[in-house]
């Protein structure tokens, strides 16, 4: 892509804006430090960044919850449906929506945060929302293809999908644009590792020995939030990539492979490395288990680093990619969190225009960077994004120094039958702590996979 030559006046103006943005960032972080409330200091920094953005853009006071600011009746109202599992994400979206409305007085944005539900995937929750006639207008997506097949999504306008690299298509049409890309790995308490003389495992057998040492020392080796679906999806993708996915980008389900996969996973529970108490534990409670040093490791995405650090700012964390039993170490590049637009919205030109403007705003300079920082995500935009050199970024850079094998082939990309992923999550919980035999579970899994 060619560069646009700027005039001297444009360059001067841009430098002034950059200085203003730099000062705003420094002041935001300085404000966070001065309040000396360690339990929320890291979270406050990210939230204050977005609040500062609102101040910088509008010259008004910091953001307040959307909809509470007095305004003339806007020309159009849109609703944005978001996940609710991460308090930083919720706060960030609230501030971003308010900042957008301040600079787009003709549009009102109403946020709807999907309540967490046990034993129900986020995609299934979206389908329930659609059945209730509430699937509109901009929706944070998972498993986009299944929602396309259900006729719930409108084609994404080019003004939006042209902003991101490799937006992805279904039947040659783009329906969802990724928010960011992330990965999965093991977050661990680096101080406990060092005190016990443990090193980051380079093989699966070394990982098992680390777990044994931690258990013998009185710790929960691995925390797991099995009460929701998020952590089961994390482990589900790890198991799929290391046991089922073939090198040619195909899924190879056999009774032997499924039984080996489930047997090795059950072994983590039967040895006591994943305590049975975690069957009733939520995602948020796993962060607390790590922060209080009850547990030492948790398999999750890097967004959980800040969740744990917010609870215990003194904790020192590390991150490593969990080796597979066959010796391969995968770094899963996950772009499954996406924005979509409801098919119901497509018939309203004003709403579609408002949706486009809001999504363009989310990817704009100074807004998108803060969203990435809040979620510890990597950019997917065509434009180059310069990310701040934060401690969590350094943790992730250290993990990548081991040169893991990158893969984008996750379970969702293997075109599983409708309902398989939800069933797979439940079977993994049963694998850990249930009484069903591994042979029966493997048979059931294959039967579900082969359903038309």
pTM of the full structure:
0.80
Structure-block tokens of residue 178: 């990724």
DSSP line for 332-347: E-B---EEEEETTGGG
Q: Rounded distance, CA 280 to CA 118, Å?
A: 10
Query: Which burial class, exposed, middle or buried, applies to 123 when counting CB atoms under 10 A from its CB (0-12, 13-18, 19+)?
Result: buried
Q: Rounded distance, CA 333 to CA 153, Å?
A: 24
CA atoms within 13 A on the CB side of 343: 10
> Quick one: DSSP state of residue 242?
I
Average pLDDT over residues 387-406: 93
Q: Rounded distance, CA 290 to CA 295, Å?
A: 5
Average pLDDT over residues 378-401: 93
Residue with tokens 């497509």: 346
Q: Rounded distance, CA 318 to CA 384, Å?
A: 27
CB of 313 closer than 8 Å to CB of 38: yes
Structure-block tokens of residue 215: 């258990």
Confidence of residue 118 (pLDDT cuts 50, 70, 90): low
Q: Rounded distance, CA 332 to CA 323, Å?
A: 12
Q: What are all long-range contacts of 18-21, with beta carbons under 8 Å and residues at least 24 apart? A: 20/56, 21/56, 21/366
Q: Rounded distance, CA 409 to CA 251, Å?
A: 9
How confident is the model at residue 119, as a pLDDT? 63
Max mean pLDDT among 76-85, 141-150, 182-191 falls in 182-191
Q: Rounded distance, CA 259 to CA 206, Å?
A: 22
How confident is the model at residue 228, as a pLDDT? 81
How confident is the model at residue 54, as a pLDDT? 44
> Quick one: DSSP state of residue 182?
B
The secondary structure element, H or E, covering residue 199 is none
pLDDT tops 80 at residue 342: yes
Q: Which of 5-14, 48-57, 188-197, 343-352 has the lowest mean pLDDT?
A: 5-14
Average pLDDT over residues 20-25: 38
Distance of CA 238 to the CA centre of its chain: 15
Average pLDDT over residues 290-314: 96
Q: Which of 33-42, 218-227, 382-391 has the lowest mean pLDDT?
A: 33-42
Confidence of residue 321 (pLDDT cuts 50, 70, 90): very high
CB of 153 closer than 8 Å to CB of 338: no
pLDDT tops 80 at residue 377: yes
How confident is the model at residue 175, as a pLDDT? 97
Alpha helices by DSSP H, 144-272: 144-149, 158-161, 190-195, 204-216, 230-239, 255-270
Structure-block tokens of residue 317: 């964390």
Q: Rounded distance, CA 139 to CA 79, Å?
A: 8
* Structural domains present in the chain: 74-179+334-383 (3.40.190.10), 181-333+393-448 (3.40.190.10)
Sort residue 442 into left (φ over 0), alpha (ψ -120 to 50) or beta: alpha
Q: Rounded distance, CA 327 to CA 204, Å?
A: 7
Percent of the chain having pLDDT more than 90? Answer: 68
Which residues have C-beta within 8 Å of that of residue 389, sequence separation ≥ 6? none
3-class DSSP state for residue 133? coil
Q: Rounded distance, CA 184 to CA 330, Å?
A: 9
Question: Residue 333: which of 410, 251, 392 has the closest Cα?
Answer: 410
Confidence of residue 72 (pLDDT cuts 50, 70, 90): low
């Amino acid at each position: 892509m060619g560069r646009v030559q700027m005039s001297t006046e444009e360059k001067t103006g841009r430098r002034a804006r950059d200085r203003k943005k730099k000062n705003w960032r420094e002041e935001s972080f300085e404000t966070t430090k001065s309040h000396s409330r360690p339990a929320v200091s890291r979270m406050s920094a990210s939230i204050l960044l977005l609040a500062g953005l609102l101040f910088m853009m509008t010259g008004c006071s910091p953001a307040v919850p959307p909809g509470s600011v007095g305004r003339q009746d806007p020309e159009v109202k849109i609703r944005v449906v978001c996940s609710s599992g991460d308090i930083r994400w919720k706060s960030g979206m609230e501030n971003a929506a308010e900042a957008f409305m301040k600079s787009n007085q003709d549009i009102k944005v109403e946020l709807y945060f999907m309540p967490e539900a046990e034993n129900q995937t986020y995609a299934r929750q979206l389908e329930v929302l659609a059945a209730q006639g509430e699937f509109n207008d901009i929706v944070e997506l998972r498993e986009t293809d299944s929602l396309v097949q259900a006729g719930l999504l409108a084609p994404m306008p080019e003004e939006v999908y042209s902003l991101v690299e490799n937006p992805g298509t279904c039947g040659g049409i783009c329906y969802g644009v990724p928010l960011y890309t992330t990965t999965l790995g093991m977050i661990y308490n680096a101080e406990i590792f060092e005190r016990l003389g443990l090193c980051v495992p380079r093989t699966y057998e070394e990982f098992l020995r680390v777990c044994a040492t931690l258990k013998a020392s009185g710790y929960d080796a691995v925390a797991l939030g099995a009460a929701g679906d998020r952590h089961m999806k994390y482990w589900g993708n790890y198991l799929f990539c290391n046991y089922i996915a073939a090198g040619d980008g195909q899924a190879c389900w056999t009774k032997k492979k499924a039984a080996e996969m489930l047997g090795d996973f059950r072994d983590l529970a039967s040895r006591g490395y994943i305590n049975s108490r975690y069957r009733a534990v939520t995602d948020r409670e796993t962060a607390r288990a790590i922060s209080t040093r009850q547990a030492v490791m948790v398999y999750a995405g890097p967004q959980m680093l800040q969740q744990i650090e917010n609870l215990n700012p003194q904790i020192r964390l590390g991150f490593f990619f969990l080796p597979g039993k066959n010796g391969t170490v995968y770094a899963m590049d996950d772009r499954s969190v996406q924005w979509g637009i409801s098919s119901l919205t497509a018939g309203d030109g004003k709403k579609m225009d408002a949706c486009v403007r809001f999504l363009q705003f989310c990817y704009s300079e100074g807004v998108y960077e803060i969203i990435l920082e809040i979620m510890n995500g990597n950019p997917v935009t065509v434009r180059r994004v310069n990310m701040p050199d934060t401690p969590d970024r350094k943790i992730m850079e250290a993990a990548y120094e081991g040169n893991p094998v990158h893969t984008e082939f996750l379970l969702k990309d293997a075109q599983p039958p409708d309902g398989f992923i939800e069933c797979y999550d439940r079977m993994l919980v049963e694998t850990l702590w249930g009484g069903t035999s591994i042979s029966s579970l493997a048979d059931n899994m294959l039967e579900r996979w082969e359903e038309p």
